[in-house]
Amino acid sequence: MQQFIKQLAQENDFQATRLLKILRGVQAQYLYIPKEAIEQLAELLNIPRTQIQNVVEFYSFFHLEPRGKYDILISSSITDLMVGQEELIAYFAEKLGVKIGEVRADGVVSLNNTSCTGMCDQSLAGLVNGYAITKLTKARIDEIVENVNKQLPLDQWARDLFDVQDNIIKPDLLLNQKPTQGEAINATFARGLTETLSEVERSGLRGRGGAGYTTAWKWKFCSEDEGICDVSVHQQKQRYIVCNADEGEPGTFKDRVLLNSYADSVFEGMTVAAAIVGATQGFIYLRGEYLHLYEKLEGILQARRNANLLGKNILQHGFDFDIEICLGAGAYICGEESALIESLEGKAGIPRNRPPYPVTSGYLGKPTSVNNVETFLAAANIAIHGGEWFANLGTAKSKGTKILSISGDCAKAGIYEYAFGTTIQTILNDCGASDVLGVQVGGPSGTFIANDEFERKIAFEDLATGGSFIVFNNSRNILDIVHNFSHFFAHESCGFCTPCRVGTSLLKKQVDKIVEGHGSAGDIVALEELCQIIKNYSHCGLGQTAANPVLTTLERYPELYQSMLKKISYEPGFDLDKSLETARRMAHRDDAHAHLAQVED
């Protein structure tokens, strides 16, 4: 083991910033992160062992205990539940002969749930040793079970198990563009860097991750001190461009498609941004769930280096830039830009205190611009076609188009591009949704809208979204949705601040209590009060939006929540009878007097 670890560390230049990459290697080799490996890496990377321990415990894809040789994770996003996830994972567990969450006795296979894997248009989805598997049915599960029991190497499994489709249903402004390599870079330098930044500003482009910060301003702030749009000054400055490809919001999968089929334009957008702000190094932070894209993207980056689109003196424009891919390891919070930067530095993804903002103090304390995949795609095309071309579409405050990931109860799940200002009804018509109960716009952290609000629009000033658009028909139960989302946030809270760490767990319990029918008169008030604390006092966007599933549905369907309550004034917050289980076992009693009713008759 010592030799393996040493070599792994050496391949990564003994850089602590590469800790996640190193640990991925260790996990793949040993199926867990052995204690000895932590000790050795602490020495080799010159960091405290507790930093490594924290990283291992923080990210869902690292383990302190061995997983199976085949580690199977099944997505438990709401869209997976809608295609029968619970039944199918139970079937999987039974066929494999392993309990959910555990490793089979022979060590060959382990099975567990995982947060949304970004395949909601081809549910039921999962991961085998990190690689995406899609459209799971009982037949496909049988096939996987057979492969596992035969211990067939992953590369000999039928390829169609790993088939990931783009499902681009409605392309518009951006998705119809197929610029040639280097077109955006050449256009940028032909027009001039300052002029191109003006075009980006004129386009009105705002961050596509959902928060909607004006892209041109971010780039300006990133190089505010000196040297913006001046390559001669750039080379001495250390600044970074980061592409946020950690799309973890359940129901979002557009970045997966953009990186599969538009990667060149995304990289070109990063290169244009680098030229403008003066960065020589870029990173693409790719969520661990998209491991299947890694090799392909590495190939594209290499081709771009070969074509002098990356590297030294790019296309003879006198500027250097390169891009490195960093894989995440299963943590939704790393989509938050400062948590993402922490993760890039080889640490647990805990959002930083702000100010300072990443544009002044980001990766390794240097100015860093973190932008969404779609933002870079748009920027590349704006660099070619100019700001007007983009700003012609959209609304006054939301220019251009938005790429949506549509899933749930509709005939055609997939990728749709719409000009901002498009109504929900139009979108529902296009994707073939009928008998609609409501739509979750923007994922669990967004808004649930009811079927009397379908004239509302996709726009920053109305319904802002990073792209998640989940349709629910009238056969669905809103409380099931809220239940799933509340568990998601409690699982993904980083735990840094009290309101989110404790609050999301309390919220999960409180929602469970009501959904399971143990709620009583005061419980809705308590629920709402808890939501307000989490929303108003949490450290970052995760906590500030974690109560949205409850708040947005409670506002629309108060009677639904009320109907779940028992008609008594007080109900214990825990199961009285279950709590007596230990006492009964110790007393060897199971008679009627050893049981308690939850509520006195």
Partner 1 sequence: MSKTIVIDGKVIPFEDGQTIIQAATAAGVYIPHLCHNPKFTPHGSCKLCTVKVNGRNCSACTFPAAKGQTITNITKELNDDREKITQMLFVEGNHFCPSCEKTGNCNLQAVAYHLGMTDNHFPHFFENREVDASHPDVMIDHNRCIFCTLCVRASQQEDGKNVFAISGRGIEKRLVVNSPSGLLKDSDLDVNDCAAHICPTGAILIKRTGYKVPIGQRIFDHAHIDTVALAAEGASHDE
Give the residues lining the site for partner 1 (CB under 8 A): 39, 48-51, 53-54, 57-59, 331, 348, 353, 355, 490-499, 501-506, 509, 529-530, 533, 536-539, 573-574
Residue 308, phi-psi category: left (phi > 0), alpha (psi -120 to 50), beta (remainder): left
Q: How many C-beta neighbours within 10 Å does residue 583 have? A: 10
DSSP 8-state secondary structure symbol assigned to residue 568 = S
Question: Closest approach of Cβ 531 to partner 1, in Å?
Answer: 12
Question: Closest approach of Cβ 600 to partner 1, in Å?
Answer: 20
Question: Closest approach of Cβ 19 to partner 1, in Å?
Answer: 14
Residue (412 or 509) nearer to partner 1, CB: 509
Is residue 458 within 8 A of residue 420, CB to CB? The reply is yes
Question: Closest approach of Cβ 259 to partner 1, in Å?
Answer: 26
Close Cβ partners of 543 (under 8 Å, ≥ 6 residues apart) = 493, 497, 499, 500, 503, 504, 534, 535, 537
Which amino acid appears at position 324 of this protein?
E
Rounded to whole angstroms, the Cα distance separating 354 from 345 reads 18
Question: Closest approach of Cβ 39 to partner 1, in Å?
Answer: 6
Residue (447 or 538) nearer to partner 1, CB: 538
Question: Closest approach of Cβ 573 to partner 1, in Å?
Answer: 4
Q: Rounded to whole angstroms, what are the CA distances from 372 to 134, 245, 375, 402, 466?
A: 25, 7, 5, 12, 9
Residue (199 or 345) nearer to partner 1, CB: 345
Q: Rounded to whole angstroms, what are the CA distances from 94 to 87, 88, 102, 104, 144?
A: 11, 10, 12, 11, 13
How many residues are listed for the chain in this entry?
601
Q: Rounded to whole angstroms, what are the CA distances from 140 to 146, 286, 401?
A: 10, 27, 37
Residue (128 or 534) nearer to partner 1, CB: 534
DSSP-derived 3-state class of residue 164: coil
Question: Closest approach of Cβ 502 to partner 1, in Å?
Answer: 4
Question: Closest approach of Cβ 515 to partner 1, in Å?
Answer: 16
Closest listed residue to residue 548, CA positions, set 534, 563, 564: 534
Residue (396 or 576) nearer to partner 1, CB: 576
Rounded to whole angstroms, the Cα distance separating 22 from 20 reads 5
Residue (52 or 277) nearer to partner 1, CB: 52
Question: Closest approach of Cβ 442 to partner 1, in Å?
Answer: 22
Is residue 289 within 8 A of residue 60, CB to CB? The reply is no
Rounded to whole angstroms, the Cα distance separating 454 from 436 reads 10
Find out whether the peptide bond into 356 is cis, omega within 30 degrees of 0. yes
Per DSSP, the chain holds a count of helices (H) and strands (E) of 26, 14
Question: Closest approach of Cβ 374 to partner 1, in Å?
Answer: 28
Residue 167, phi-psi category: left (phi > 0), alpha (psi -120 to 50), beta (remainder): left
DSSP 8-state secondary structure symbol assigned to residue 497 = S
Question: Closest approach of Cβ 542 to partner 1, in Å?
Answer: 10
Residue (148 or 494) nearer to partner 1, CB: 494
Residue (345 or 492) nearer to partner 1, CB: 492
Question: Closest approach of Cβ 204 to partner 1, in Å?
Answer: 25
Residue (23 or 136) nearer to partner 1, CB: 23
Residue (578 or 589) nearer to partner 1, CB: 578
Close Cβ partners of 207 (under 8 Å, ≥ 6 residues apart) = 213, 214, 215, 218, 371, 372, 375
Rounded to whole angstroms, the Cα distance separating 448 from 591 reads 48
48 φ, ψ to 5°? -65, 145
Question: Closest approach of Cβ 337 to partner 1, in Å?
Answer: 17
Question: Closest approach of Cβ 459 to partner 1, in Å?
Answer: 23
Residue (417 or 492) nearer to partner 1, CB: 492
Residue (57 or 224) nearer to partner 1, CB: 57
Is residue 400 within 8 A of residue 390, CB to CB? The reply is yes
DSSP 8-state secondary structure symbol assigned to residue 505 = H
Is residue 358 within 8 A of residue 369, CB to CB? The reply is yes
C-alpha torsion angle, residues 526, 531, 534, 536 (rounded to 10)? -110
Residue (165 or 498) nearer to partner 1, CB: 498
Residue (91 or 537) nearer to partner 1, CB: 537
